[in-house]
A and B are shown apart, each in its own frame.
Chain A
């Protein structure tokens, strides 16, 4: 009996973990540090307004929480049911969010993003290192933009989707597959 309840508890905590990962995706703060690569969990308030309900997601590194749709993942967590319900309609109000200052290997960077209708419409660095010429070169190349924000595909009015190479199995659950079906006749 003891063993059974222990098993139940570990299953429960795995589920809780899965859910806490998912809700953390909605948070709009910039991830705080690059040093905690494998043990990283996004912190902050969980405002999951742009999350597709029922979708199995994880903002943690793929190594610790394998993508449930990946056929090759050796230790895939049990996936909740496939997304069926559409995402809630996102309000088309633009909101500007200032991220926390992030310590990158180039120096501290702070980014401001504008979200309209659940989609990032603008992003700019409002504070970034410009101490020397090398830093300016880096800035002209790349700046950190945002954290693991998920955009709702329903509000994005897209014609197609690019993704890491699909298997035929992954394709059947992909957004591209849904768009393809709409154009077949």
Chain B
């Protein structure tokens, strides 16, 4: 087996697709893979044009200018956002300071998971990395081994997880400074430098990681509502916590 990768910048973020393919390459298999990747990028661009608060023509910008939601996708996204707000006790909110709609944090994972259907359709092992949040699938049963970046050293790892079908999202302050804000105080979140969440769905892994960084701690009452999700956190005082589901996924390193 070999791996084919495709990369693209969308929503201001780097996306990459990795596919496990046979060693034998033909123009036909190349065309199929390129076509599937192209469809993923296309779906993500469409989502960006609809949901970006930075594009004046987007539906989100129009809502922020006072219009009502007009598409079924927007209604679905807003319903999902409301679920995320309720299930995180308000720690995850697509409304900045309770007012302006800024759904990037939700749309990225939601749109990526939806677009990944083009990759599932190939039947091959793949992962999609959406700006640091990954969705992995391995129908072959061969484990994907995914590293979690160390928050203090992007060239090193905090841990490695493995599995065949899972999502892994990481939130924190390492790459953008404090880009997550406490929705109540409006101040940058403190307490946790980085949180990674593993679980079956990318959007919820992403929501939980963001919510715990924003809250500054792993809220047990929230996590109890997500029994299939595991958390690896790194605090501002350099302490690491792993919940049982996360520990089950932490990879065993082969010797040699």
Contacts and interface: CB of A to CB of B under 8 A. Distances in A.
A74 B234 CA distance: 22
A163 B132 contact: yes
A86 to B, nearest CB: 11
Interface in A127-185: 137-138, 140-153, 155-168, 170-171, 173-177, 179-185
A109 B204 CA distance: 30
B114 interface: no
Contacts of A33: 237
A129 to B, nearest CB: 15
A70 to B, nearest CB: 5
Contacts of A101: none
* Chain B: interface size category: 35 or more
A38 to B, nearest CB: 7
A36 interface: yes
A63 B177 CA distance: 9
Contacts of A36: 237
Nearest to A69: B154
B242 A123 contact: yes
B253 A146 contact: no
Contact of B155 (A52, A59, A94, A140): A52
Interface in B1-22: 3-7, 9, 12-14, 16, 18
A9 to B, nearest CB: 26
Contacts of A182: 3, 5
A115 to B, nearest CB: 9
B236 interface: yes
Contacts of A137: 220
B148 interface: yes
A51 B152 CA distance: 12
A77 interface: no
B242 A142 contact: yes
A183 B4 contact: yes
A97 interface: no
Contact of B147 (A55, A148, A153): A153
Interface of A: 25, 31, 33-34, 36-38, 40, 42, 50-52, 55-63, 66-67, 69-74, 83, 92, 94, 102, 116-117, 119-123, 137-138, 140-153, 155-168, 170-171, 173-177, 179-185
Task: Return the 10 tightest CB-CB contacts between A and B, nearest first.
Answer: A183-B5, A72-B177, A163-B149, A164-B172, A150-B156, A57-B153, A151-B157, A158-B147, A171-B14, A170-B175
24 contacts: A52-B153, A60-B152, A62-B173, A92-B255, A94-B255, A147-B238, A148-B152, A150-B152, A151-B147, A156-B145, A156-B253, A158-B157, A158-B160, A161-B157, A162-B169, A164-B172, A165-B132, A165-B176, A167-B175, A173-B155, A177-B14, A179-B18, A180-B5, A185-B4
